[in-house]
Amino acid sequence: MTVPPSVTPDWSFEREHWRRGHFRVAGVDEAGRGAWAGPVTVAAVILPGSAAEYPFRDSKQLSAAQRERYAQVVREVALAWAVEHAWPDEIDRLNILGATHAAAHRALARLDPAPQALVTDYLKLRVSLPLSAPPRADALSYSVAAASLLAKTERDRVMLELDAQHPGYGFAGHKGYGAPAHRAALHERGVTGAHRRSFAPIRALLSEPASLFGDPD
């Protein structure tokens, strides 16, 4: 499902839960599932059920400055919010989907008040709560867009920290994704503890003779 950038989120998915008496609806979204390094980060947000309009959008449609500004608004207006990471060791142990689900469950468990229903961006969590999991919900649902903003900005902050810990890999720029500069740095410097060793490009590098690598940080 392709959603044009001009689409504005609304409350359609939340209203389906409100009609059934579930007024605390948590939006859930993640950032970093496809990256080669760093955590996958999951946010859960319960917005007031007032059907107000917000400036929240899918984080991919916004500039970094807009994301930071709107993420602060989310934290100010939300009834509850939480952000959790699954780090590379957990990703390698559980696989990326399993680690994403684990981080989502941790984030949901921290919400106070607790949610009565969920809307996720096609993340089909195993929960006892009513769940809507449409594709591209981060562009269609205010709650999921809010979660998208928190997940993206918090993960970007972590990648800046990893950039300082592992200079030369460019984490601050490509955020751990498979950019050409990232691939080049891996061949020159080797694999770090921030990398997901179960991911095919990293696994392939680790299987090469050690003489092909420089000294890792």
Task: Tell me the CB-side half-sphere exposure of residue 51, using CA atoms within 13 A.
Answer: 9
> What's the pLDDT score for residue 202?
97
The CATH number covering residue 66 comes to: 3.30.420.10
Q: Which domain holds residue 91?
A: 11-155
In-domain check, residue 168: no
Q: How many CB atoms lie within 10 A of CB 147?
A: 37
162 within a domain of the structure (yes/no): no
Count, in order, helices (H) and strands (E) of the chain: 9, 5
- Rg over CA atoms, the chain: 18
Whether 84 is in a domain gets the answer: yes
196 in a domain, yes or no? no
> Do the domain assignments include residue 139?
yes
* Per-residue pLDDT tens digits of the chain, which is 217 residues long: 444 455 789 999 999 999 999 999 999 999 999 999 999 999 999 999 887 899 998 898 899 999 999 999 999 999 999 999 999 999 999 999 999 999 999 999 999 999 999 999 999 999 999 999 999 999 999 999 999 999 999 999 999 999 999 999 999 999 999 999 999 999 999 999 999 999 999 999 999 765 344 444 4
Say what the pLDDT of residue 209 is. Answer: 65
What's residue 52's pLDDT? 84
- Is 29 annotated for ligand binding? yes
Q: Is residue 195 part of a domain?
A: no
- 176-180: list long-range contacts, CB under 8 Å, 24+ apart: 176/32, 176/35, 176/36, 176/37, 176/38, 177/34, 177/35, 177/36, 178/34, 178/35, 178/36
Q: pLDDT value at position 3? A: 45
Q: Is 163 annotated as a binding residue?
A: no
What integer pLDDT is reported at residue 49 of this predicted model?
A: 81
The pLDDT, as a whole number, for residue 5 is 52
- 83 CB-near residues (< 8 Å, 6+ apart): 41, 42, 43, 44, 107, 150, 151, 154
Tokens 């607790």, residue located:
114
Strands 117-120 and 25-31: parallel
Is 138 marked within a binding site?
no
Looking at residue 96, its pLDDT comes to 98
* Structural domain contains residue 188: no
Q: Indicate whether this model's pTM tops 0.85.
A: yes
In this prediction, residue 70 carries a pLDDT of 96
- Whether 170 maps to a domain, the answer reads no
Give the chain's domain count.
Answer: 1
